[in-house]
Chain A
C-alpha cells in the first residue's frame, strides 16, 4: 500500500493564525506577498547594459610568440666538459616539433618543447665533442673545422 504524500509546509508559509497557506484562499496569500521583496520581471526585449570590458582577439599568426627565435646556450651538463662561450642557437618549429640549430657546425636538437630540444642538443654536442676528440678518430677536412669550432666554445674541465 502506497503512503499518501503529505504536503510540505515551511514556516514562512504558516500565517499568524497558525493555519497553513494551503488552507487559506488565494487573495489572502496575495496580500501577504505584497510587502515582500519581489525581483523585477525580466523582459527579453530590454537587453543587457553595455559592458565596459574590452576584448581583443588576436589570430595565432599575429599573436606575440613567447619562444625566442635565437638564444645563447651554456647548459652542456657534462661532468668532463665546460662551456667557454655561450653557443648561439637558432630556434624554429618544424611539423610541431621545436628544433634548435647551431648553423656554424650544422648541428641541431629537436623535441616537443624548447626544453626537450635543448636537452637533445646538449646530448648531441657532448657526443660529437667526445667523438671528434677521441684518439682513434681521423676527421676529414670538414669535421676538423667542426672540431676546431667546438674547441672554441667547449673545453675539458680541469680536475
Chain B
C-alpha cells in the first residue's frame, strides 16, 4: 500500500490525525472514537495494507473501494453500523 493511498482514505473519511512517532488517525463519529489506524512516517516506509484494512474493520473489497472512489464516508459509516461498531 502506498502512502498516498493511506492519506486518501484518511482525507476521505475526515479522520483526525496526529503526527507523533507514527502518523496516527482516528475516525470520530458523533464525538465517539470508533476506529483508529496509523502508518510510519516517510514515503519509503512499508505500509501493511492488510493490517490497515483490519484496523478499519472492512473486507478486501470494501478496502479497495475506500482507496478508490467507490465507497464514500457515508457508505463506510453504514458498514461500521452494520457491524455494530457504530451504535
Contact = CB atoms under 8 A, between A and B. Distances in A.
Size band of the B side of the interface? 20 to 34
A141 B38 CA distance: 19
Instruction: Decide if the interface of chain A is mainly helix, strand, loop or mixed.
Output: mixed
Main secondary structure on B side of the interface with A: mixed
A137 interface: yes
Contacts of B21: 123-124, 127
Interface stretch (A1-9, A24-32, A68-76, A91-99): A91-99
Contacts of B20: 127
Interface string B20-43: 111010100101111110101000
A106 B32 contact: no
Contacts of A138: 31-33
Interface residues of A, number: 23
Contact of A106 (B31, B40, B54, B84): B54
Contacts of B64: none
Nearest to A142: B85
A96 B51 CA distance: 16
B57 A142 contact: yes
Given A124-B22, A142-B85, A143-B35, 17 more contacts: A94-B48, A97-B46, A99-B48, A108-B48, A110-B46, A110-B48, A120-B40, A123-B21, A124-B21, A127-B22, A137-B33, A138-B31, A139-B33, A140-B35, A140-B86, A142-B34, A143-B36
Interface of A: 94-97, 99, 101, 106-108, 110, 120, 123-124, 127-128, 131, 137-143
Closest 6 CB pairs of A and B: A97-B46, A140-B34, A123-B21, A108-B51, A106-B54, A140-B32
